[in-house]
Amino acid sequence: MLSYFKQFVNESSLFRQMADSLKGRGGLRIWLIWANVFLVFFLILFSNIGVLPVKNVGDFVFFAVIILLFSLYRPGWAFLFFVGTIALENVNLVPKELGLAVRPYQLLGAASLVAVVIRYFTKRLSFALPKWNWIDTLILVFASSGFVSALASSISKGVAIKQSVVVFSFVALYFLTRIFIQEFKDLKKIIPYFLSSSVVVILFGIWQNWRFVRGLSNFEVMPGRPNATFAEADWLGIYLVFLLSVVYSLITYFNKVINNSESGIFNFQFSIFKQFSITKLQNFKFNQNSKFKIQNLFLYLILTAVYILLILTVARSAWLGAGAVSVLFFVFCVWYYFKNKNSKILWIPAFTGMTLVLAILIIKVFGLTNFELGNRIQSTGSGLQEITISCLSASKIDPELVISDAKELEQYGCRHINLEEIESEESMGNFVARVKRNDPNVNIRAEIYQSSWEQIKVHPILGIGWGNISQILGTDDLGHGLNASNIFLEIWLGAGLIGFLSFLIILGNIVLRIFNFQFSILKQFSKSNDSILKLDNSDLNQDSKFKIKNFSAWNLFLMLSLFAIIVPNLFNSGIMLGFLWVYLAIVQIKQ
């Protein structure tokens, strides 16, 4: 609603302004964004109250046909909704009797892809397909190597082939994104949909923990750790770290340090902001040197929510990823300051730091978690985890006791309890204390890595096929098959050496694009003695100016997002997350 503030100042009739604003294509874009928000909201709602998945095959086929017809009518809209639903990883549409899981973004993606194929062969496609490049070839090699590993597997060919098909479906989503996102102007169209749906997901995750702390129904998979629309809190953490890199980059993009213009942000504004062309809140008497624009305020609000939910997940791998991304972001701002001698850039990390403090205060004030966050952070480095125990007597308990397993507590007449049980245990006259134990996650991961590496040494070339490592590692407490807990080990096991090398080269190409783009821009800009802040007065051509203006934010995104993908996945196997494949396609856009 911030977008209407200027209208409130200039006009008295809210309804008249809303009616006028919704005329034309700008209004249509706003309605599409709101449609995306409501679509995500109701899909989450229906999934958690049992309406989804649909109960019979006929209903699913009916809705699938409707979505296909919609995609044929407006393939671009279908793709926007595909992007908007990309975070709905635990929402299944297919009846359980089929034994499949089809997420909303997979159905929308498949329908969009089919629509593009039909329009292409009927010569009704309104845009050109992207040119094939060598990264596309590597992506296909990656997908094909999974089938080769599956056929050569001695563990379970059936499981490996099925999972290879799943991986291939994600590769199809990569090519779908390549078709629709070819240039920067295409990228800017999807950002409002990605961010608006992310807000819904974040608010749902915060709501989950708020309900948990108060003992209410919350739909969490692991008590006290929100998973929102993902299978578990760690997957949500990976998504939030990636979202963090996006928000950091957009804050930099919208900041006047790079823009140096009061009227707009280069060639890009969010659709809902562009509709009203607001640059400051006159009602609050912001002067022309105000550090915040409406876009920045919106992004800082999102950043606050991201910080809150990221902390609530208690996902240490995500915390490490967020730390790495934040440190790199700070280094970029310092580098930019020394490069251009302008202190305004330093306001950005200062404000983001204050936003983090605000997020922590909100968590404390509103009591959004029962976890001892300080202990959780400390255990990341020490490998020791503080746990709460209930004992019949206090005489046998050493305050400095360190145990290796909770079963050892039996010899002291104690047992491990949850924080919410403290009050009831004390009311029964039991002694409640805290002791340290070796973090079981450290030992579990060490065993997983060892077992995974043993399999790689036995099958170094072809691997064992996707999904087969679970046959060796077993299941977790929830009955889910364990994975290699490292994306690189998972790929080597699932797709063999060829798939592993293909993935490394794909990531390496992103690094090369970062350096090549930076050097090419700086080479062009070296023709002028001015800093980037004086770009508009330089004698460079308009194409060069446009590239230089986009350089900082785009290259920043490439760097931050690469860290956001890699660091959390050193402890997770997030190869089958939809947004990863959209990301791999986006980084291939023309620069």
With a pLDDT cut of 90, the percent of the chain lying above it is 56
- Distance linking the first and last C-alpha atoms of the chain: 34
Measured CA to CA, the distance from residue 48 to residue 63 in angstroms comes to 19
pTM: 0.86
Of 99-103, 140-144, 194-198, the one with minimum mean pLDDT is 99-103
Instruction: Give the mean pLDDT of 551-574.
Output: 91
Q: Which long-range contacts (CB under 8 A, 24 or more apart) does 185-188 make?
A: 185/267, 186/589, 187/586, 187/589, 188/267, 188/268
CB 351 within 8 A of CB 330: no
Amino acid at the residue 322: A
pLDDT for position 374: 72
Return the structure tokens found at 454: 């043993």
Measured CA to CA, the distance from residue 363 to residue 368 in angstroms comes to 5
pLDDT in tens, 176-187: 999 999 988 899
Instruction: Give the mean pLDDT of 359-388.
Output: 80
Of 176-185, 252-261, 295-304, 342-351, the one with minimum mean pLDDT is 252-261
pLDDT for position 394: 66
Q: Tell whether omega for the bond before 53 is within 30 degrees of 0, i.e. cis.
A: yes
Q: Could you tell me which residues come within 8 angstroms of residue 441 by beta carbon, excluding any fewer than 6 positions away?
A: none
Residue 21 has pLDDT above 60, yes or no: no
Report which of residues 444 and 93 the model is more confident about: 93
pLDDT bin (cut points 50, 70, 90) of residue 522 is low
pLDDT for position 382: 62
pLDDT in tens, 212-260: 999 899 999 988 899 999 999 999 999 999 999 999 999 988 875 444 4
